[in-house]
Amino acid sequence: MSSVVIVGTQWGDEGKGKITDYLAERSDIVMRYQGGSNAGHTVEVDGKQYKLHLVPSGILYPDKQCLIGHGVVLDPEELLQEIEMLVSQGVDVSNLRISDRAHLVFPYHKLLDGLEEDKKGANDIGTTRKGIGPAYMDKSERIGIRVCDLMNEDVFRDKLKANLQKKNEILTKIYGKEPFDADEMIDRYLGYGRQLSCYVADTTVIVYQALKADKNVLFEGAQGTLLDIDIGTYPYVTSSHPIAGGVCVGAGIGPTMIHKVVGVAKSYTTRVGKGPFPTELFDEIGQSIREKGREYGTTTGRPRRCGWFDAVIVSFSVRVNGITDLAITKLDTLAGLETVKICTAYRRGSEIIENFPASLEFLSECEPVYEELPGWDKSIEKARTYDELPVNAIRYIERIEELCGARVSILSVGPAREQTIIR
Ligand code: IMP
């Protein structure tokens, strides 16, 4: 048996969709274990672009089973739209299964997500407003409604009525909004339930049996390590566990069943939403990376903040995820720059910081310590082997390996499947 976890090592948007798609070819099962429709994975196959939010990227291979584990918060409306989009493009989705334990996202979660953000004003988190935080809050409060509840009309009706009473009180009394109509929402969701019932399963059984039968399983992380609720740049994080350990909780397997952890890192750093970002670039280099790298959010369309590669962050990710291999993406975006910089440590006053700090106030006082390396002007989009890369690009990769303490096994030099170099 072989199980591989794919995690983002930065603030998400590292290009995990493409790496998942690539590794999915060698897998029997691809499984999502956390997050929800806040995620956005862009995969390009035969010149066609697919933007996926909830469905695992493995869906683009007809023979792969795709699972959405119970750690995911599931918006049934968005999932059905995604299924419809895939079917209309000729993709077979019959191999998709969703966990009966997954918690559901409701319209009040999305509305409250936005209202809470607006109330925070300048101190907002910059969420995707997809209801992720409020849905995980209900789960922790033990009032969440799960897929298995949706499969039982009476149970669902009772639970939704009870929840809606409470949510409507918050919406009307605190925010002065109109209440949601319980009957309308119940009927609508029961309709979604009927459409989704053919996909519902106990995914913990499927994944366990597959691993026991020596099949290959790929766990597809969404977001990134610095967005993890425990490990990340709290409070500017998402409400789930994008780290490798999140697989055990969100997919329902034991830690002994994980064999490899592939950390995906962009050859530079990006971030959407608020919060400190030590290597952020505010000059024309940052702007050119944004344009060349098409750094605009898949889910929200927001321009991403761009900066140099931060080895303090990626070495932290290597440590907390137990990363065995790194996949470096978008190396082509940096081509054409005279020099490239890597942040090797932070400076705070006279102190040198090598370990990523917990406190954001502390982090905002840190200045990056850079190492400057010669750039490469040759376009590298056509390179298919490591040796075909310009010598300075190789130097850059090998310096990243040294600083981060993990081997770079995969390199991506463009969005297409074939623009991937395996070392
Ligand atoms: P939420 O997950 O919508 O609650 O947003 C919390 C934080 O995570 C915000 O800074 C978002 O921009 C960020 N975030 C959520 N999903 C993604 C993603 O897929 N890529 C990058 N950032 C994300």
Ligand 1 center from residue 390 Cα (angstroms): 35
**Whether 193 contacts 187, CB under 8 Å:** no
Gap between the Cα atoms of 339 and 8, Å rounded: 26
113, 221, 318 from 53: Cα distances, Å: 18, 12, 25
Q: Is 41 annotated in the active site?
A: yes
Give the chain's domain count.
3
pLDDT > 70 in the chain, percent = 100
What is the pLDDT, as a whole number, of residue 378? 79
Residues 13-44: pLDDT tens digits?
Answer: 999 988 998 999 999 999 999 999 999 887 88
Predicted model pTM: 0.96
Residue percentage of the chain with pLDDT more than 90: 91
Rounded average pLDDT over 193-203: 98
Pocket of ligand 1 (CB under 6 A): 11-13, 38-40, 125-128, 130, 132-133, 222-223, 227, 236, 238-239, 272-273
In a domain, 67, yes or no: yes
pLDDT band at 177 (very low <50, low <70, confident <90, very high): very high
| Phi then psi dihedrals of residue 393, to 5 deg | -70, -40
Task: List the CATH number of the domain containing 119.
Answer: 1.10.300.10
Token pair 């809470």 is found at: 116
So what's the pLDDT on residue 300?
Answer: 80
Residue nearest (by alpha carbon) to ligand 1 atom 22: 12
Each residue's pLDDT tens digit, 49-96: 888 999 998 999 989 999 999 999 999 999 999 999 999 999 999 999
Counting ligand 1 atoms within 8 A of each CB, the residue from 52, 272, 299 with the most, and so the one to mutate, is 272
| Atom 8, ligand 1: residue with shortest CA distance | 238
Q: Does the pLDDT of residue 394 top 90, yes or no?
A: yes
Same domain, 319 and 404: yes
> Rounded to the nearest whole angstrom, what is the distance from the C-alpha of residue 230 to the centroid of ligand 1?
15
Q: Which pLDDT tens digit goes with each residue over 338-387?
A: 999 999 999 999 999 999 999 999 999 999 999 999 999 878 999 999 99
User: If you average pLDDT over every residue of the chain, what do you get?
Assistant: 96
Q: Which of 42, 123, 238, 329 to mutate to test the pocket of ligand 1 (most atoms within 8 A of CB)?
A: 238
The best mutation among 18, 127, 130, 302 to test binding of ligand 1, ranked by most ligand atoms within 8 Å of the C-beta, falls on 127
For the cut 70, the answer to whether the pLDDT of residue 157 exceeds it is: yes
280/269 Cα distance (integer angstroms): 8
Same domain? For 257 and 269 the reply is no
CB atoms near residue 2 (< 10 Å): 14
Q: Is residue 202 part of a domain?
A: no
Domain shared by 248 and 273, yes or no:
no
Residue 211: name the closest of 55, 67, 71, 58 by CA: 67
Residue 185, in any domain of the structure: yes
* Mean pLDDT confidence for 133-157: 98
Whether residues 221 and 306 fall in one domain: no
Say yes or no to pLDDT of 213 above 70: yes
For residues 93 and 72, what is the distance between their CA atoms, to the nearest angstrom?
18
In a domain, 184, yes or no: yes
What span, in angstroms and rounded, lies between the C-alpha atoms of 223 and 242?
Answer: 6
Strand ranges in 121-279 using DSSP code E only, listed in sequence order: 200-201, 216-220, 260-266, 269-271
- Its domain, for residue 335, covers 265-422
Q: What is the CATH number of the domain that holds 12?
A: 3.40.440.10
127 CA distance to ligand 1 centroid (A)?
6
- pLDDT in the model for residue 379: 85
CA of 238 to the centre of ligand 1 (A): 6
CATH number at residue 360: 3.90.170.10
Q: What is the pLDDT of residue 261?
A: 98
Q: Does a structural domain hold residue 314?
A: yes
108 and 96, same structural domain? no
- Per-residue pLDDT, 98: 98
Q: Which of 196, 223, 250 delimits the end of a domain? A: 196
1 has pLDDT over 70: no
Residue 274 binned pLDDT confidence (cut-offs 50, 70, 90): confident
Residue bearing the CA closest to ligand 1, atom 12: 273
Question: What confidence score (pLDDT) does residue 388 get?
Answer: 95
Q: Does residue 201 sit within a domain?
A: no
pLDDT of 88-114, one tens digit each?
999 999 999 999 999 999 999 999 999
Chosen domain end from 139, 171, 196: 196
241 catalytic? Reply is no
Residue 301 in this model has a pLDDT that exceeds 90: no
Based on the domain organization, do 67 and 111 belong to the same domain?
no
Same domain? 220 vs 93: yes
Query: Do 360 and 288 fall into the same domain?
Result: yes
User: How many Cα neighbours within 13 Å face the side chain of 77?
Assistant: 10
User: Using alpha carbons only, what angle is made at residue 100 by residues 8 and 234, rounded to the nearest 5 degrees?
Assistant: 35
Q: Is the pLDDT of residue 285 over 80?
A: yes
User: Ligand 1 atom 1: the closest Cα is on which residue?
Assistant: 127
Measured CA to CA, the distance from residue 269 to residue 317 in angstroms comes to 13
Together in a domain, 411 and 299 = yes
Q: Which residue of the set 21, 28, 41, 113 is catalytic?
A: 41
Q: Which two tokens stand for residue 240?
A: 């789930």
Residue 378 shares a structural domain with residue 334: yes
Top mutation candidate among 20, 38, 72, 236 for ligand 1, by most atoms within 8 Å of CB:
38
Alpha helices in 89-181 (DSSP H): 107-120, 132-141, 147-150, 153-169
The Å distance, Cα 233 to ligand 1 centre, comes to 12
What is residue 299's predicted lDDT score, i.e. its pLDDT? 77
- H/E run at residue 209: helix 203-212
User: Which ligand 1 atom sits nearest the alpha carbon of residue 240?
Assistant: 2
Please name the residue whose Cα sits nearest to atom 11 of ligand 1.
Answer: 127
pLDDT band at 45 (very low <50, low <70, confident <90, very high): confident
Same domain, yes or no, for 269 and 387? Answer: yes
What is residue 197's DSSP assignment?
Answer: G
Task: Out of 261, 277, 305, pick the residue that ends a domain.
Answer: 261
Q: How confident is the model at residue 164, as a pLDDT?
A: 98
Burial readout 252-261 (b: 16 or more C-beta within 10 A, e: otherwise): bbeeebbebb
Q: Which of 13, 113, 138, 310 is catalytic?
A: 13
Residues 327 and 407 in one domain: yes
In a domain, 143, yes or no: yes
Q: Is residue 18 part of a domain?
A: yes
